[in-house]
Structure 1
């Protein structure tokens, strides 16, 4: 399942949009913004049955022309990806559980937050995944609930969808949440087959255990 690539695309798309807003500011020096990495507490991930799969730094370097002047913007965010391997009927053993955390800079200038993710709903965020990941379709909202992450109450939206895993279509649930922590926005997304009993609580426990910035 290419959910890691999908979330990377989400992060890049968000940063490109952010950079476009920043480009409205003029200046001779490049404007550089960077998010702090986010991850799940190691013990919580292990208890939920997930292993760290990948960490990536995603950087966007763009130039914009505004009022006849060019402004260079360098924006960096971070992606941390976890996988859970289970036996799934005819598919066999595969990485069917995916949990990804993305941190992206809020970019606040003169009291104004320029990163558009701040105003995006969870339904809008899941659209990015659907647009970038061709193996996911038929996304429908199922329910919502509030969880506390780093002392902040945030809404987790649960969606049902159909995903392609190892060439076969599988019904999955997707959980999405987003919150502001300091100078960054943090986005978390969990995907797993609907037939995995109890996996929703594992995903929620991972969300509750997000660290930002990551402890050394």
Structure 2
């Protein structure tokens, strides 16, 4: 399913390209930025934790041609990380939860932070991701925010946007709950996105547990 292939990481790549704000002095060598890996602690996974299993952790390299952002021939290279998780209920033979953690570098050019994630609300981030990429639940429509919650992720209290939307599963319209938050940690932004069918409300606690157990290689500044 496409969510497990980087629902958020690929969106961040497009945001960087489309922001059009990388106006800095050019040079002959590529400008390189690399995020540090973010994952969920092993203790929060598997049968002894939330029941989620890691499906993939991968580095995704974004190369931007300088001509696309008005800086001549200079190339920008940004390495992002995405970790993907899912929860399967073997009794009903159905996936009951999806979770992804993305780390993307600040992209600080001549002292100016350029990553558009910096100023995006949870609603904006979710809207951009759902608008550009398929998710594991298929095409999601009628997305609306129902509230907010507070969790501690990477030692910081952060606001989680809580949303509901509708998708089609096995020919039936199904309502799903979605959760998204981000924190600035070290030189990276770490974004967590999770979802589950709304008819399975107990899965909400597991999403928050995963957020609380996110680990990131970079030290907090």
Could you state the TM-score of these two structures normalised by the residue count of structure 1? 0.88
Q: Gaps spanning 5+ residues in structure 2: where?
A: none
Higher relative strand content? 1
Aligned-residue offset at 1:169: 2.9
How far is the alpha carbon of 1:108 from its aligned partner? 2.1
Greater percentage in helix: 1
**C-alpha deviations, 1:122-173, integer Å up to 9, x for none?**
0011112221226111100011122111111111010001123355432110
Preserved contact between residue 32 and residue 73 of structure 1 (Cα < 8 Å): yes
Q: Deviations over 1:16-65 (max 9, x none)?
A: 246x4335331111000010010011111231110001112111112123
Paired residues of 1:22 and 1:73 also in contact (CA < 8 A): no
- Partners of 2:195 and 2:170 lie apart in 1 by 15
- The equivalent of 2:63 in structure 1 is 61
Q: Is the 8 A contact 1:15 1:104 kept in 2?
A: no
TM-score, scaled to structure 2: 0.86
SS at match of 1:54: strand
Query: What are the equivalent positions in structure 2 for 1:188-203 lying under 5 Å apart?
Result: 188-203=192-207
* Aligned equivalents of 2:99, 2:81: Cα separation in 1: 14
Which residue matches 1:14? 15
2:24, 2:109 within 8 Å by CA — same for their partners in 1? no
CA RMSD across the alignment: 2.3
Residue number in structure 1 paired with 2:79: 76
